[in-house]
Amino acid sequence: QTLEEREQQTECEQHTLEYEQQTLECEKQTEYENMSLLEQQTEYEQLTLEGEQQTLEGEQQTEREQQTLELEQQTLDEQQTLEREQQTLELEQQTLEREQQTLEREQQTLEREQQTLELEQQTLEREQQTLEREQQTLEREQQTLERGQQTLELEQQTLEREQQTLEREQQTLELEQQTFEREQEKLELEQQTLEREQQTLEREQQTLEREQQTFELEQQTFEREQEKLEEMDLEALPIQSGHPAPSSEFNLGRNSRLVPPFNEKEVDVYFTLFERIATSLKWLQDIWSLLLQSVLVGKAQRVYAASSLNQSSDYATVKAAIPQAYELVPEAYRRQFHTVYTALRKDTVSLCPKLKQNNEREKNTFLLVRALQPIKSLVGTGVS
């Protein structure tokens, strides 16, 4: 058995050896084939390398030509740039010249500005001095304002005292109103008698109107004569006026221009103003009524025309008659008092003088009415 096994092993080994020999032969054939292929590849590669070398040589020649062209273009570009630079240099030279001129001008302007700055500094110094002076004046004004505030406080205290006095006077006025109402009842009785008198007065008014027309004609003639006298610089009065002749030194035409214009809204104030001007100019009191009639208008002119020659030549009678024509009675002053109080109750500084003035006017007219009552009663009894 061992021999058979050995024989079998040897046979197997022989078979393996044969197989290996066959594989070696196959490998040799493949190597030959590979060698032939490698030779063919090397030949092909050599051919390709030669072609590539030729192409590289052509490319090198083209690159050299391109480099030469680029160099030529660069030279051309450099020439153009040089020309442009020359032009720019020329332009820069021109600009530099212009800049030099501008710099010279700027230097001149700077010098002028320096001069102006020096002048402005001087003006600023002067303004500082003026500001210091103004500050001093402001301090002085503040001191004056403080003093004015103190005076205002004192005035307020005085106004409060005056208000207290006004309240007391109002109480007295209320008492007087009660008495006045009682007197009004008496006056109503007298009015009945006065109505009868009015009928007679209407008849007299018709006659007075006729006389007024004649007086207006005489006044026109008087004005014409007065103008003639002013032109001739005569210093005598006309004969038709019926007034006493003034002194030879008195110029009527010249002084009549100094008489203030008559205001129907403030009749009582006008007489005080007229008297002050007459006394300051030293006019004779006999001529006051004559100077006054040249300014009268409206109701005052009618009263003056209706009065007789003796009454019109007396200034006191004219002064007493004209306010009566404007109904300056206590009741009118009471209405005026209330309107002034409601309009000016916010402003105490301007209210107090007006209240005083109205109060004095009301007192004076009330006393005048009380003084005229016995005369009216006598007139009423005489008419009845």
Domain boundaries, the chain: 203-308, 327-384
318/312 Cα distance (integer angstroms): 6
The pLDDT of residue 236: 41
7/14 Cα distance (integer angstroms): 10
Contact 257, 295 (CB under 8 A): no
The pLDDT of residue 343: 56
Contact 189, 379 (CB under 8 A): no
Instruction: Tell the burial category of 333 from Cβ atoms under 10 Å away from its Cβ (0-12, 13-18, 19+).
Output: buried
The pLDDT of residue 198: 77
The pLDDT of residue 148: 85
Q: Along the chain (384 residues), what's the average pLDDT of each consecutive run of 10 residues?
A: 78 86 88 86 87 86 87 87 87 87 87 88 88 90 89 88 88 85 82 78 73 68 66 45 46 78 83 89 87 87 86 87 73 59 55 61 57 53 46
Please state the pTM of the whole predicted model: 0.29
281/260 Cα distance (integer angstroms): 13
